[in-house]
A and B are shown apart, each in its own frame.
Chain A
């Protein structure tokens, strides 16, 4: 899974929680809660969306590592994330 795919997975998980979010306007280094008006329920649903989308279990202790777009993408890179659908890697 590429960095761009991880970023897209995070954005789609966010949009599932708050459909009005404009992906292009997300500031990558600013906490979601501060820029997107997310509450703890929204954040829980965001983490669950990542879980369902990527098939990874995210311990509660890791939640602080998912507070910004950059942090979330970096966190997913540390996990053995398999994409939900095969991506075009050029390999059969």
Chain B
């Protein structure tokens, strides 16, 4: 059972999506696990062959428990437990929309018993609702009702934030950034893009943040066993509020290496899947920094609480026209306050300040992002 964040202690196996003997590639989704953050798709991190399944659907086990064994390519097979029921679909997985999968979990509908009527036989929300109206057949584990899940998520957030405030000596910095250049560039750039490819300011903000982290790497990583460990990449956790309450912060991976168009698509996909309850294990387990954007709510500045074991959190406030002095004259400019909450064990204010000024500098040259 992988740890999907510092606030996770256990998870419930909902279903296996592979069976013993199946070939696995790194990144394949092997199972679905229910946690306080919703139903999470569990990926494998090495190539091989699924040898044995050690946990049955419905079992709740602590983080660290072996769920299955995978034998590497060329390794001999070892005896495993008796076969479990086959997963749905000829390719190991039925085509199911994220909303339908979530709804099926909430309603206890066995997806294997649902006939899909969507594109290429995909199971849609309407298919699940139809199936739910029929007598239920549970082949997967029952999952908590929405109210229970919201309560569990609240508890998990409470635990993580309490740990953070207790253990992490935060320091806070802020900077006011003139967004004239970034918004002007965005407007003209979007005119060249199709509707599907248009950018929002958040794409520029996240990319700038990642490039600034490249210059100040001691803000990007984890505090583990009394020491800072630099992150293996720049994986930006995005705080996403869920409809009906709650919060998750899944990662965008290697943000500094992605162009803005690809990044925007990933952000849209991540928000959609977070709200549909269809995130992947790697997205929850490996952010190296978190960003929160509360500007949409009209907030001027957001001073966040670091998500342990990370060592920094960046907050963006709203972009609003305000007076700005340029060349000795006061003029209205679109301004935004960016903040940094950082762990004083891992960095000092001097480096934190350098990070914010570097972030500002990137946003003044958006054509370089």
Which residues of A pack against B, CB within 8 Å? 18-20, 37, 39-41, 44-45, 47-48, 51, 57-60
Given contacts A20-B243, A44-B198, contact A60 B268 (CB under 8 A): no
Q: Which residues of A contact B187 (CB under 8 A)?
A: 60
Q: Does B122 contact A (CB under 8 A)?
A: no
User: A57 is contacted by which of B195, B243, B267 (Cβ under 8 Å)?
Assistant: B195
Contact A60 to B190, CB < 8 A, known contacts A19-B99, A40-B202, A44-B198: yes
Known contacts A44-B268, A48-B195, A48-B196; 20 additional CB pairs below 8 A are: A20-B243, A20-B244, A37-B243, A39-B296, A40-B201, A40-B202, A40-B296, A41-B200, A41-B202, A41-B267, A41-B268, A44-B198, A44-B200, A45-B268, A47-B195, A51-B195, A57-B195, A60-B190, A60-B191, A60-B198
Decide if the interface of chain B is mainly helix, strand, loop or mixed: helix
Nearest CB of chain B from residue A30's CB, rounded to whole Å: 16
With a CB–CB cut-off of 8 A, which chain A residues contact B191? 59-60
- In the assembled complex, the CB of B219 is this many whole angstroms from the nearest CB of chain A, namely 26
A48–B196 Cα distance when bound, in Å, is 7
Q: Which residues of B contact A51 (CB under 8 A)?
A: 195
- Where the two chains meet, the residues of B that have a C-beta atom closer than 8 Å to any C-beta of A are 99, 187, 190-191, 195-196, 198, 200-202, 243-244, 267-268, 271-272, 296
In Å, the complex CA distance between A60 and B194 comes to 10
Which B residue sits closest to A18, measured CB to CB? B243
Q: How far, in Å, is A83 (CB) from chain B's closest CB?
A: 19
A-B contact pairs, 14 of them (CB 8 A): A19-B99, A20-B244, A40-B200, A40-B202, A41-B202, A41-B267, A44-B198, A44-B200, A45-B268, A47-B195, A48-B196, A57-B195, A58-B195, A60-B187
Q: What is the CA–CA distance of A20 and B243 in the complex, to the nearest angstrom? A: 9
- Which 3 residue pairs spanning A and B have beta carbons closest together? A39-B296, A60-B190, A51-B195
Chain B residue at smallest Cβ distance from A38: B296
Which single residue of chain B is at the shortest CB-CB distance from A60? B190
Give chain B nearest CB distance to A20 CB in angstroms: 6
